[in-house]
Amino acid sequence: MSTWFAETFPNVVYQGWTGDTGWWTAIFQTLFMTFWSAVFGGLLGLIFGIGLVVTAPRGITPNKALFWFFDKVVSIFRAVPFIILLAFIAPFTKLLVGTQIGMNAALVPLSLGVFPFYARQIQVALSEVDAGIIEAAQSIGASFSQIIFGVYIKEGRSEIIRVSTVTLISLIGLTAMAGAIGAGGLGNMAVAYGYNRFANDTTLVATILVLIMVLLVQVTGDWLAKKYNHK
């Protein structure tokens, strides 16, 4: 089997498992960028998504100025193609993390690239929470934080998990473009060491590994969403 694999996928074997261009290195880089970008971008998106819902004209604390701010920031960042965002915020990235290249540098554009998408997803998810439940919470004197966490988040958690799954899958795709600033990852492996060098076997294996990651995220997300769906 090992002989057949070495003959069928010579470039894959040549890349090795460890080292700067190894497969484990590429997998780790993809997981690292996906995880931390999901944390930072997810928190920012959650804040803006909640802000869009609660400050809307029919929200629990209507505020035209704040709603306009949240809406415009999200819309502007969504309108900028990710590959352009990488270059546009390079000075800010260097100011924040001290460098414009590498995995740590990629976290900044990845987080800013994914947060507007997630914010809109959260806005839609929370907007579907039954208004009657929200009104009932307000009528018994529930505080702002109690309504946010006890009603919006709790009642909408199944939908939040679903949109989080979609966002994570999208984020895995964005990490491929992060290779443009030397962040590495499986996307960079497929393009730089596969496509650009006509090593089709490297491109194939990198693509399969990405698909496995996406499948695992999708299956886990679907299972969790179904588990917490009380409708």
Secondary structure of 147-165 in HEC code, one letter for each residue: HHHHHHHHHCHHHHHHHHH
Residue 131 lies in a domain: yes
How many independent structural domains does the chain possess?
1
- Using a 10 angstrom Cβ sphere, with 0-12 exposed, 13-18 middle and 19 or more buried, the burial of residue 224 is middle
| Residue 65 or residue 11, greater confidence | 65
- Provide the pLDDT confidence category of residue 73 given band limits of 50, 70 and 90: very high
Q: Tokens standing for 115?
A: 């947060």
Q: What is the CATH number of the domain that holds 221?
A: 1.10.3720.10
Terminal-residue alpha carbon distance, the chain: 50
pLDDT value at residue 7: 64
**What does the alpha-carbon distance between residue 68 and residue 154 come to, in Å, rounded to a whole number?**
26
**CA-CA distance, 94 to 75, in Å (whole number)?**
25
Domain limits for position 112: 19-227
Closest Cα partner for 86 from 49, 47, 114, 118? 114
Contact 207, 191 (CB under 8 A): no
2 in any annotated domain:
no
Residue 93 lies in a domain: yes
Q: Is 1 inside a domain boundary?
A: no
In a domain, 196, yes or no: yes
- pLDDT score, position 180: 64
Q: Which pair of structure tokens corresponds to residue 112?
A: 């800013």
The pTM assigned to this predicted structure is: 0.89
Residue 10 lies in a domain: no
Query: Rounded CA gap, 176 and 65, in Å?
Result: 37
Q: Give yes or no for residue 179 having a pLDDT over 90.
A: no
In a domain, 67, yes or no: yes
Nearest CA to 34 among 181, 174, 188, 219? 174
9: in domain? no
User: What pLDDT, in 10s, does the model give residues 7-58?
Assistant: 676 777 777 787 777 889 889 999 999 999 999 999 999 999 999 999 998 8
Q: Per-residue pLDDT tens for 92-150?
A: 888 888 888 888 888 999 999 999 999 999 999 998 888 888 888 888 888 888 888 88
Most distant CA atoms of the chain, gap in Å: 72
Rounded-to-10 torsion of CA 188, 193, 195, 199: -150
